[in-house]
Amino acid sequence: MPTRAEQFAGLSVAIVTPLRDGEVDVEKLHEQITFQVEAGTTAICPVGTTGESPTLSHKEHEQVISESIRAAQGKTLVMPGTGSNSTAEAIRLTQYAEKAGADAALVVGPYYNRPTQQGLYEHFKAIAEAVSIPICVYNIPARTGRNIEPETILRLAELQGIAMVKEATGSMDQASQILSGTDLTVLSGDDSMTLPLLSVGGRGVVSVVGNIIPNDMKDLLDAFERGDLNEAQKLHRKLFVLGRNLLGLASNPIPIKAAMKMLGRDTGDVRLPLVPLEAEPMARLHKVLADYGLPVN
């Protein structure tokens, strides 16, 4: 049975924001989007957690959105992060994304101010009613401090503008409740949970490791789609080790940016309060990438 936003089924990549000398490196941004287009990635998701949106200025945030759309040239879908803990600001950003030509908006749950479930519902309702592009509800309570309960998502699914959920709670019960009660397109928000989520009806992943190995992530999704569970499990186990050992080194996107640099795709350093990997985890990262079979510098 088709889900509400089937065009986003498959691999979406939460791309990093290249930073150089305190500014967005537009040339490198275009390069990495071209890399994803050539890999056949379904969608790119700029200015999310991986894109360091909390430390970008409003002007930079808008710049990354517009430049990502320009670089994609319609060859891959663009679903930028437009969330905020201020409903008015989230509406403004989402409206900007729509006007710039985004195909959808990835809207994280409000962070820090910890609204009630009714407050969460009203927040997403206001955003959905302010634009005509599809909204993906990004539920990551480890970052926001508040779970968007499945009952709230079921209510939101009654709204026309709510089309997807990026599920990053780690709870298969919550994902199953959403999938059994709605036709929302559910995407995994954790690389390691991709195959388990697919098995209960999920339709893809918003991937971090897809920044470096989009083809391998696509192979897993394709194997499951054609019913080759043995191959999907084999790829899951391989990718699980990489994701666990890479992303466990430090807060995202510190290790993925370091990995990209090791692989000859330098996107600059992270912005404070994030700091680069120190020598010991850097050495471990080198081993992780080499063990996976990647050509590290």
From the list 125, 166, 218, 257, the catalytic residue is 166
Domains and CATH numbers, the chain: 6-228 (3.20.20.70)
Nearest CA to 82 out of 43, 109, 55, 101 is that of 109
List pLDDT tens digits, range 54-72: 999 999 999 999 999 999 9
Q: What Rg, from alpha-carbon coordinates, does the chain have?
A: 18
3-class SS at 138?
A: strand
| Structure confidence at residue 297 as a pLDDT band (50, 70, 90) | confident
Q: State yes or no: pLDDT of 1 exceeds 80.
A: no
Mean pLDDT of 98-107: 98
Confidence class of residue 10 from pLDDT cuts 50, 70 and 90?
very high
- Report H helices in the chain: 26-39, 58-72, 87-100, 117-130, 141-144, 150-156, 172-181, 194-199, 214-225, 229-247, 254-262, 279-292
Map tokens 């339709």 to a residue.
203
Which of these is catalytic: 96, 121, 138, 292?
138
* Share of residues in the chain with pLDDT > 70 (%): 100
Residue 38 confidence (pLDDT) above 90: yes
Contacts of 152 (CB under 8 A, 6+ apart): 117, 120, 121
Active site residue 138: yes
Instruction: Tell me if residue 234 is catalytic.
Output: no
Per residue in 248-278, pLDDT (tens digit) is 999 999 999 999 999 999 999 999 999 999 9
For the stretch 233-256, pLDDT in tens is 999 999 999 999 999 999 999 999
Q: What pLDDT score does 124 carry?
A: 98
The per-residue DSSP string of 92-129 comes to: HHHHHHHHHT-S-EEEEPP-SS---HHHHHHHHHHHHH
pLDDT at residue 91, rounded to an integer: 98
pLDDT at 202: 98
